Amino acid sequence: MPRFIGHYIATGSNPKIVKGDNNVYLTAIQHFLPSDISGHQMCGMEEIAGCRKDCLNTAGRGQSPTVVAARTRKTLEFAEHRPLYDYLIDKDLTKYETFCHRHGLRGAVRMAGTDDRPWHKILDMEAYDLQFYNYTKHYRRAYHPMPKNYHLTLSYSEANKNYAKAVLKASKDTGTNIAVVFKGAFPKRFKGLDVIDGTKDDLRFLDPSPCCIALKALGKAKRNTNGFVIAA
The most confident of the ranges 26-40, 43-57, 157-171 is 157-171
Please tell me whether the overall predicted TM-score, pTM, comes out greater than 0.75 for this model: yes
Residue 60 reports pLDDT greater than 60? no
Give the 3-state secondary structure of residue 58: helix
72: enclosing H helix or E strand? helix 65-80
pLDDT tens digit string along 7-28? 999 999 888 889 888 999 999 9
CA distance 13 to 111: 14
The pLDDT of residue 16 is 83
Could you tell me the CA-to-CA distances from 229 to 123, 214, 223 in Å, in that order? 31, 11, 9
Dihedral sign for Cα 159, 187, 27, 109, please: negative
Answer yes or no: are the C-beta atoms of 229 and 157 closer than 8 Å.
no
Give the pLDDT band (50/70/90) at residue 231. confident
Cα 66 to the center of its chain, rounded Å: 21
Q: What is the pLDDT of residue 58?
A: 56
Identify the pLDDT of residue 86: 98
Give the pLDDT band of residue 94 (cuts 50, 70, 90).
very high
Confidence of residue 115 (pLDDT cuts 50, 70, 90): very high
Mean per-residue pLDDT over the chain, rounded: 90
- Write down how long the chain is: 232
Q: Is the pLDDT of residue 61 over 70?
A: no
Q: What's the CA gap between 101 and 167, in Å, rounded?
A: 37
Which stretches of 2-45 are DSSP H helices?
15-19, 35-38
Quick: pLDDT tens for 49-58: 655 565 555 5
Burial environment of residue 62 by CB neighbours within 10 A (0 to 12, 13 to 18, 19 or more): buried
Nearest to 198, CA basis, from 184, 215, 180: 215
pLDDT surpasses 80 at 45? no
